Amino acid sequence: MLIASGMEDYNSTQSFANELSKHLNIAQICDNNNLRSCWPTDTVTLNNGKEWDISKTTSGKTLKMVNDENNEWDNTVGIITADGTSFIMSYNKKCAMSQTTSPSWIGSKSSSTNCVAAIYDWNGSSKPNTFGMTTSGKNDIIPLNANGLGSACSIEVNSKCYGIFFIPTPPTPDECTELINSGKINKCSNNRDYFAGAVKQCGGKDNMPTSADLRALSEELHKGDWNKNTSNLGLPSSYSFSIWTSREGNVGYSADYHSFTPNGNNGINVTTMERTKHPEIYGVCIID
C-alpha cells in the first residue's frame, strides 16, 4: 500500500480502510457505531482484570494513543480479514509515509505501521479473550502499534483524567523553536531537554499535572497494593520514580518534578536545574 498509494493524507480511518481493502483481502468493514459486528465478543478482559466493552473502543484515545504536533488519531473502524481475523484500528491523520518514503524495518515490523494503531483477536471467539502486549496462552487480544486498551484515562484522581505515563523524547531544535514561539514553554535546550519533550507530547504545560495533582496521585497509589497499582499504569513498582510537573523554573533550564516512593511518602517536590540530564523522569498529560 505504501508503494502503490502512500499511507498519508487520508481524512479518516474509514477512508484509510477503504484504500487498505485494495491491498489486503478484507471481508467486512464496520463503522465506528457498529464495531461489535466486526468483533467476536462483547467484552475483553484487561490486564487489571476489568471487563472492557469493545463497543467503547471508538477512538485512538481508547487505544492509549496521544495526540500532539505529529499525531492526530482518528475515530476507529472495525475490519475482518478474509481469514477471519478481527481488527479495530485508528488512523493517524498526521502520519507522514508517502510513496517516496523508504520504510525502515525493525525485525519484521515496517515503520509504515506507525500510521495505524490497532488491536486484533488472533483466535476469534475462543477464550481467554484477554488483552496483553504479547501473544501468549494468557493473551489473545494483541496490540499493533497501540499503547494499550481501555478508557482514555489510565487513572482518575480528584476528577482529573490522566493519560498514559511515558518517558519523554526530547524535541529537535526546530521543535524547540516552535514550542517557544507558540508560548508552550519559556526556554528549551537544543540538547536533550526531557521536560520540553513532556510539554510537547502534552501539547503545553497547561495539560500537565501540578505538584498538588501529583501529591494526590501519590496518595491514591498508596491506597491498597502499591505494586499492583503502579504496575497497572506501566510505572515501576519496586523502586522510586519521578514525574514532571507543569512548573517551569525562571532560572536557567529548570523545572519541577515529583518523587514517588513505595514506602508511603506522599512525594517530594524537587527542582532540577538540569532537565537535560534526567531521561528517566516520566511525563503524563491531563486529558479530557
Every domain of the chain and the residues it spans: 2-144, 155-287
* pLDDT one-digit tens code per residue, 146-175: 988 988 788 989 989 898 899 999 999 999
Q: Which three cell numbers stand for residue 244?
A: 514532571
Q: Is this model's pTM higher than 0.85 or not? A: no
* pLDDT one-digit tens code per residue, 48-103: 788 999 999 999 989 988 787 788 999 999 999 999 999 999 999 999 888 777 77
